[in-house]
Chain A
Amino acid sequence: MTESNIPEQAEQPELAKKKPEAKKRSGFARFFSRDKDKIEQTPSEPVSVEEGLDKSRTSLMGKIGNVFKGSFDINDDLFDELEEVLITSDIGVEASLEIVEKLRERVKSDKIQDAPGVIAGLRAEIASVLSPAEQPWDVLHQRPYVMLMVGVNGVGKTTTTAKIAKQFRDQGKTVMLAAADTFRAAAVEQLQEWGRRMDIPVVAQAHGADAAAVAYDALNSAIVKGSQVLIIDTAGRLHTQSDLMEQLQKINRVLSNLDPSMPHEVMQILDAGTGQNALSQLEHFQKAVGVTSVCLTKLDGSAKGGLAISLTQKYGLPIRYIGVGEGYLDLKPFSAKEFSDALIPDISDQIGDKA
């Protein structure tokens, strides 16, 4: 299974040369790269400002803008249209219905009468659904702090593992990686290559080795070396393959045998492009290995952030990171407010005189 390619800014000047122009970004990536004050960026980070046309084509706010274009009344049709907009952003039927229902009540009780008011109301509803997903995270209270990265095939586990490791290291933490994806061809090599580029030790065994043994080795090594964080990359597996899920449980068991508090974090990586199946994925992984947090990758495709809403509404797990681009700094900590602002920004300038 393939995973995402990250041309990394710092280590790969030749790649930066290959892509001299700032990429056109839409949706989340554009939002986050524009917001330089709020989120730390490296100077080399390509920042792009896009013309308004592009954003209205691709993203949720654009679709919402369309709802309010021309003449509109605050009536059932308007709410139905909003509901459809939410559904097409992968928010899911159930969550969409609920959000629109609450919005309806809010509009009624607050006597909202204009488009900006409705949009602000919608943004507030979404922010309130998302708020449980933003939680403080302290990785230094345990040493080593052990993280197990899990997910289905192709969501970007290895790449995300590398990005998180790099961020931790840049913050001055000592990190160790474990290549426990012993199944996919060249997965070990992929992580080792990252380790080499970032100068982070990677514990690995041969292809086909027992993943739990790799994890065990890595943990011992992390203890001996006194690493602060150990991140264990695992093989992608479909949540319906019970034998592979059992294998994951074995890794969990091996770690908790050494110390019952381990792993401290079981992070499920989800591809933001996934539809309603993401809920099923999370449900199965949670049942098997007790997922404690979520990371949403590949949010830069277009406005695909709806998944965060249905996930949080149903499970309320913290979302540690969202991936909005290919560079390692494009893996951002999650903020409910920023996320809902990105999902539904102020578009009063686009609505025109009707607003």
Chain B
Amino acid sequence: MFEQLGDRLQGTLKKIRGQARLSEENISDAMREVRIALLEADVSLPVVKSFITKVKQKAVGVDVSKSLNPGQMVVKIVQDELVELMGAANDALNLAQTPPAVILVAGLQGAGKTTTVGKLANLLKNREGKRVMVASADIYRPAAIEQLKTLADSIDVAFCQSSADQKAVDIVANAKLAAKNGVMDVLIIDTAGRLHVDGELMEEIKAVHAAANPVETLFVVDSMTGQDAVVSAKAFDEALPLTGVILTKTDGDARGGAALSIREVTGKPIKFLGIGEKIDGIEAFHPDRVASRILGMGDVMTLIEEAEQKVDKEKAEKLVKKLKKGKGFDLEDYRDQVAQMNNMGGIESMMDKLPGMGNLNLPTGAMGGMMGDMNKSVAIINSMTPKERQFPALIKGGRKKRIAMGSGTEIQDVNKTLKQFMQMQKMMKKMGGKGKMAKMMRGMGGMPGMGGGKFPPGGMGGGGGMPF
């Protein structure tokens, strides 16, 4: 998300960046383009208008004696205003309450509420060690309760059974009792999707809210929503005392206009981003970092945090030790590396956060294709015997054929994987244990889809501490 808006804004601002003097005219020209860029990103019109007015006011009266040139000043003003739009810092969940702390989730149909409840429960359980229970008050959509139960079972959190012939408020009362009896820290309540213009269902959610008395009431919204995002957010905000917003499906190519508008209109912070369909695809929302992502300045902080959370440290240390001992990097290690990258949301998500990467202009999906190939590599390695993994030199014609059959691939794919592995092995030898991300990434030039891609020198510097 945000890349395309970023590209547009960067292109526009590039023109103005070099200007030594700013006239009202060239600011106006730039702002006209900024306006279109924001509108095409689905930022709502009233928000765009007030944004442009603010930037213009600040830009025209800009103090030229500062260390930045006027052009750079404008870029800075735009960034500051973007941060302002989205809220300055991350707002975490406030669960300081006599347990169970109740979280109520509401939103339009298809926003991703149930999936988000699962992700949130998983996050609270794993990262904060909370005892979590989930319950579904969606009595309308067939199998909605079943869906949440399946999710709850898969992440091993408590589920309070409900049924479609109960009333939503009764379900909530039951769930609260069950959570209390079960000594839960947190109870998350999923609700039915509803349109903000549906008076009766809006009344129902008010009653549900009253019964639940939640400490957090979160509005779940699809990041691809158009101009109507502000209208529905406002309606929900008026009906319920919302405490925050969760933006979902941010792994698509939506330009994130909804994110920019909703905060401005409701004044409620965006607390999380939902990314992808996997259960751990949820990330705290940091407005400052996202603003710099939009302007192509990268978001190394999030990348480092992700690396810390998701990379298996034990495995990484083991590998470092092994390499230090002078032992070779074998196919098992290679497979682990690929799996680690997958854990971090794949290359696409990593690249997204690196400074300068937004300017590479890779076709959408190019990276995705690469991940597909990497997954294939994992299948291929899985089809090898332990001995083959340790001594890849053994793998000749007959074995290759068997491995290709076993992994459902072609012999060419096996060859490709072996070649990539060999490149990686060479690189690892050079690194001699002191992992430098920059070197590793350069070595990946040999991977499919990268086409020997050149990375800007030093661009990866921020990731230097990553335990690869």
Contact = CB atoms under 8 A, between A and B. Distances in A.
Given A154-B222, A240-B365, A87 B39 contact: yes
A23 B199 contact: yes
Contacts of A304: 226-228
Contact of B197 (A183, A281, A302): A302
B188 interface: no
B40 A190 contact: no
A265 B211 CA distance: 47
A58 B109 contact: no
Given A2-B114, A243-B372, A23 B200 contact: yes
B372 A240 contact: no
A3 B198 contact: no
A154 B111 contact: yes
A189 B114 contact: no
A14 B148 CA distance: 24
Interface string A227-244: 000000000001111110
Interface in B224-255: 224-229, 231-232, 249, 251-255
A350 to B, nearest CB: 20
Interface stretch (A71-79, A100-108, A163-171, A267-275): A267-275
A135 interface: no
Interface in A23-69: 23-26, 58
Nearest to B226: A275
Contacts of A184: 147
Contacts of B371: 242-243
Interface string A112-148: 0000000000000000000000000000000000000
Contacts of A155: 110
Interface stretch (A88-96, A217-225, A256-264): A88-96
A218 to B, nearest CB: 19
A109 interface: no
A153 B228 contact: no
Interface in B249-293: 249, 251-255, 257-258, 276-277
A311 B251 CA distance: 22
A153 B224 CA distance: 11
Contacts of A58: 197, 231
A327 interface: no
A4 B197 contact: no
Given A243-B368, A275-B257, A276-B255, A298 B142 contact: no
A21 B198 CA distance: 12
A137 B416 CA distance: 48
B12 interface: no
Interface stretch (B41-49, B65-73, B123-131, B398-406): B41-49
A271 to B, nearest CB: 6
A92 B226 CA distance: 10
Contacts of B368: 240-243
B370 to A, nearest CB: 9
A1 B115 contact: yes
Contact of A274 (B224, B232, B375): B224
Contacts of B251: 238, 240-241
Contacts of B138: 2, 5
A125 to B, nearest CB: 20
Interface string A148-181: 0000111110010000000000000000000000
A5 B192 contact: yes
A306 B227 CA distance: 10
Given A87-B39, A243-B368, A277-B252, A7 B140 contact: yes
Interface in A297-330: 298, 300-302, 304, 306-307
B193 A88 contact: no
Contacts of B200: 19, 21, 23
Interface in A182-218: 183-187, 189-190, 193-194, 197, 207
B36 A93 contact: yes
Contacts of B112: 1-2, 153-154
A90 B252 contact: no
A84 interface: yes
Given A4-B141, A301-B196, A88 B45 contact: yes
Q: Which of B154, B225, B253, B254 has the most CB of A within 10 A?
A: B254
Nearest to A307: B226
Given A21-B200, A240-B368, A275-B226, A298 B258 contact: no
Given A21-B200, A276-B42, A301-B197, A185 B252 contact: no
A243 B375 contact: yes
B146 interface: yes
B369 interface: yes
Contacts of A271: 110, 222, 224
Interface in B337-375: 364-365, 368-369, 371-372, 375
A93 to B, nearest CB: 5
Interface of A: 1-7, 14-15, 19, 21, 23-26, 58, 84, 87-90, 92-93, 152-156, 159, 183-187, 189-190, 193-194, 197, 207, 238-243, 245-246, 271, 273-278, 280-281, 284, 298, 300-302, 304, 306-307
When A and B form their complex, which 10 residue pairs have the shortest distance between CB atoms, in order from nearest?
A: A275-B226, A154-B110, A5-B140, A275-B42, A242-B368, A186-B147, A185-B150, A193-B142, A4-B109, A190-B143
Given A238-B252, A277-B224, A298-B195, 12 more contacts: A1-B114, A3-B109, A4-B109, A23-B200, A189-B143, A245-B365, A275-B224, A275-B225, A301-B196, A301-B228, A304-B228, A306-B226
30 contacts: A2-B109, A2-B110, A3-B110, A4-B109, A5-B193, A24-B199, A58-B197, A58-B231, A84-B45, A90-B228, A93-B36, A153-B112, A154-B110, A154-B112, A154-B222, A185-B146, A190-B147, A193-B143, A238-B251, A239-B253, A240-B364, A240-B368, A241-B251, A271-B110, A274-B226, A275-B225, A301-B195, A301-B228, A301-B231, A307-B226
Interface of B: 36, 39-42, 44-45, 108-115, 138, 140-144, 146-151, 154, 165, 192-193, 195-200, 222, 224-229, 231-232, 249, 251-255, 257-258, 276-277, 364-365, 368-369, 371-372, 375
